[in-house]
C-alpha cells in the first residue's frame, strides 16, 4: 500500500477491499452510497463524555452492596478492554486493505468513535472511584477478561498477518477478512449488548444513572457499527463471487465463532454473578438474553442458530435504552426506531436529549 499512487481502475469499479488502495478521497460518485450514509449517521452522533454528569454515581456506588459493586466494576473493566481492542483493530486490520473512499472513511470513523468510548470510561472512573488506577491496573488479572480479549484479537490478528504476508494468497486473505468481519459483528452486536444490559439494570433501580446515560450513547454508536459490518458482509457477497464460495466453506467456522462468543458470554455472566444477583438481573436472565440476542444477530446474517430462544426479549426493559439508536441500513435487523434525514440524526434532540438532560 502506498499513500499516493494513481489508480489504474475507476474507483467505482474496484472492490471494497484488496484492490488498489484509494488514490483520491472523493464522495461525489460512490459505489456504495449506503455505506457512506452510515458514516454520515455516525458523524451526526458525535458526543463527548464530559457532556454527561456522572457525579451522583459516586454516591450511588458507595451505597451499593459489595456484590453489586463487583458486578458494576467487573462489567466496566471488561467493557474497557472490548473498546480498547475495537479502538485500534479496525484501523489495523481493515483500513490497510480498504480500496474505496467510502470504506476507508467508514473504517476510520468507526475506530474514532471507539476512542470516544474509551475516553468515556476514564470519565466515569474518575468520578466514581477514589483511586481510578485501581480499575485499570488490575483489569488484565481477571482471566475471563483476558480470555475474551484473546478471542476477539484472534481473527483480527489473522487478517493482519495476511495483510502483511509475503507469500500472498488472495483467496485465503479474503477468507481471513470474512471471518474478521463476522468476529467484529459478534463483538459489536452481542458482547457489547451484554455489558449494556448490566449497566442499564442499575439505572432501572435508579442507581448509577450517569453511567447508564453514557452507555446509552455508546450503544447508539455500537448499533451503527453493527449495521456497518452487516452492510459490508452483504455487499461482499454481491460484488465478488469468491465470497459466495467462502460463505459456504466457512459456514462451520462462522457458526463456531458465534457459538463461542455466546458460550464465553455465559461464562462471563457466571463470573459476574458469582457472589449473587441484583434486583432485576441474575445469571439465568442474562444467559437467556445472551442466547436471544446472539440468535438475533446470527439470523440477520443467514446463520442457523442452534439455540431455542423466545420470540420476545427476555430483558424487555433494555429496549427503551436502545431506542433512538437508529440506523438506515437494515433497520429491522439492528435496533432501529427512526430514520436518518438529511445526513444528521434527528432523534438526538428529542427522545435522547430528554432522557439525558444534557
Ligand atoms: Fe465502542
Ligand atoms: Fe463499536
Q: Catalytic: which of 121, 156, 193, 243? A: 121
- Measured in Å, residue 77 CA sits from the centre of ligand 2 at 16
Ligand nearest to the CA of 80: 1
- What count of Cα atoms within 13 Å lies in the side-chain half-sphere of residue 57? 25
Q: What number of other Cβ atoms are within 10 A of residue 236's Cβ?
A: 21
Q: What number of other Cβ atoms are within 10 A of residue 54's Cβ?
A: 24
**pLDDT averaged over every residue in the chain:** 88
Question: What is the reported pLDDT for 293?
Answer: 97
> Over 60: is that where the pLDDT of 255 sits?
yes
- Measured in Å, residue 225 CA sits from the centre of ligand 2 at 5
Q: Which of 195-199, 277-281, 350-354 has the lowest mean pLDDT?
A: 350-354
User: What are residue 17's DSSP bridge partners?
Assistant: 98
Residues 235 and 119: beta-carbon distance below 8 Å: no
* pLDDT tens-digit map of 196-240: 999 999 999 999 999 999 999 999 999 999 999 999 999 999 999
- Measured in Å, residue 221 CA sits from the centre of ligand 1 at 7
- In the CATH scheme, what architecture does the domain 29-356 have? Orthogonal Bundle (1.10)
Instruction: For helices 170-186 and 209-239, give the axis angle rounded to 10 degrees.
Output: 150
* pLDDT tens-digit map of 179-198: 999 999 999 999 999 999 99
* pLDDT tens-digit map of 85-120: 999 999 999 999 999 999 999 999 999 999 999 999
Work out the average pLDDT over 46-73: 95
- Measured in Å, residue 19 CA sits from the centre of ligand 1 at 28
The rounded distance, in Å, linking the Cα atoms of 171 and 177 is 10
Ligand nearest to the CA of 115: 1
Question: What is the reported pLDDT for 8?
Answer: 82
DSSP string for 181-206:
HHHHHHIIIIIHHHHHHHHHHHHHTT
The rounded distance, in Å, linking the Cα atoms of 358 and 352 is 9
> Over 80: is that where the pLDDT of 46 sits?
yes
Q: Which three cell numbers stand for residue 336?
A: 432501529
Total residue length of the chain: 358
167: confidence class by pLDDT, cuts 50, 70, 90: confident
Question: What is the reported pLDDT for 335?
Answer: 55
Q: Which three cell numbers stand for residue 186?
A: 459478534
Ligand nearest to the CA of 215: 1
Q: Catalytic annotation on 243?
A: no
> Over 90: is that where the pLDDT of 59 sits?
yes
Residues 337 and 325: beta-carbon distance below 8 Å: yes
Enter the pTM of the model: 0.89
* pLDDT tens-digit map of 19-44: 988 888 888 899 999 999 999 999 99
When comparing pLDDT for 132 and 68, which is higher? 68
- Measured in Å, residue 140 CA sits from the centre of ligand 1 at 18
Amino acid at each position: 500500500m502506498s499513500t499516493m499512487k494513481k489508480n489504474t481502475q475507476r474507483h467505482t469499479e474496484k472492490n471494497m477491499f484488496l484492490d488498489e488502495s484509494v488514490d483520491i478521497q472523493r464522495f461525489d460518485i460512490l459505489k456504495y452510497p449506503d455505506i457512506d450514509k452510515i458514516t454520515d449517521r455516525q458523524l451526526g452522533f458525535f458526543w463527548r463524555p464530559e457532556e454527561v454528569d456522572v457525579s451522583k454515581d459516586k454516591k450511588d456506588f458507595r451505597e451499593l452492596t459489595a456484590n453489586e459493586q463487583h458486578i458494576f466494576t467487573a462489567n466496566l473493566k471488561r467493557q474497557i478492554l472490548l473498546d480498547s481492542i475495537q479502538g485500534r483493530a479496525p484501523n489495523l486490520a481493515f483500513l490497510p486493505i480498504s480500496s474505496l473512499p467510502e470504506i476507508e472513511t467508514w473504517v476510520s470513523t468507526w475506530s474514532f468513535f471507539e476512542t470516544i468510548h474509551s475516553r468515556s470510561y476514564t470519565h466515569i472512573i474518575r468520578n466514581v472511584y477514589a483511586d481510578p488506577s485501581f480499575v485499570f491496573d488490575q483489569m488484565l488479572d481477571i482471566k475471563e477478561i483476558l480470555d475474551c480479549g484473546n478471542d476477539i484479537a484472534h481473527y483480527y490478528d489473522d487478517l493482519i498477518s495476511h495483510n502483511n504476508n509475503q507469500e500472498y494468497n488472495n483467496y485465503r486473505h479474503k477468507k481471513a477478512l470474512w471471518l474478521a468481519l463476522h468476529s467484529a459483528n459478534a463483538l459489536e452486536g452481542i458482547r457489547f449488548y451484554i455489558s449494556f444490559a448490566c449497566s442499564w439494570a442499575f439505572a432501572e433501580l435508579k442507581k448509577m444513572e450517569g453511567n447508564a446515560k453514557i452507555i446509552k450513547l455508546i450503544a447508539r454508536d455500537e448499533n451503527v457499527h453493527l449495521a456497518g459490518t452487516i452492510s459490508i458482509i452483504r455487499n461482499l457477497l454481491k460484488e465478488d463471487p469468491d465470497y459466495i464460495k467462502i460463505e459456504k466453506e466457512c459456514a462451520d467456522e462462522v457458526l463456531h465463532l458465534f457459538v463461542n462468543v455466546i458460550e464465553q458470554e455465559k461464562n462471563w455472566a457466571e463470573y459476574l454473578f458469582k457472589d449473587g444477583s441484583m434486583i432485576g438481573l441474575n445469571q439465568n436472565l442474562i444467559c437467556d438474553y445472551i442466547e436471544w440476542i446472539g440468535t438475533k444477530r446470527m439470523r440477520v446474517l443467514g446463520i442457523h442458530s442452534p439455540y431455542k430462544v423466545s420470540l420476545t426479549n427476555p430483558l424487555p426493559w433494555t429496549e427503551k435504552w436502545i431506542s433512538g439508536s437508529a440506523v438506515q441500513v437494515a433497520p429491522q435487523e439492528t435496533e432501529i426506531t427512526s430514520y436518518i434525514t438529511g445526513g444528521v440524526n434527528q432523534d438526538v434532540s428529542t427522545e435522547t436529549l430528554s432522557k439525558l438532560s444534557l
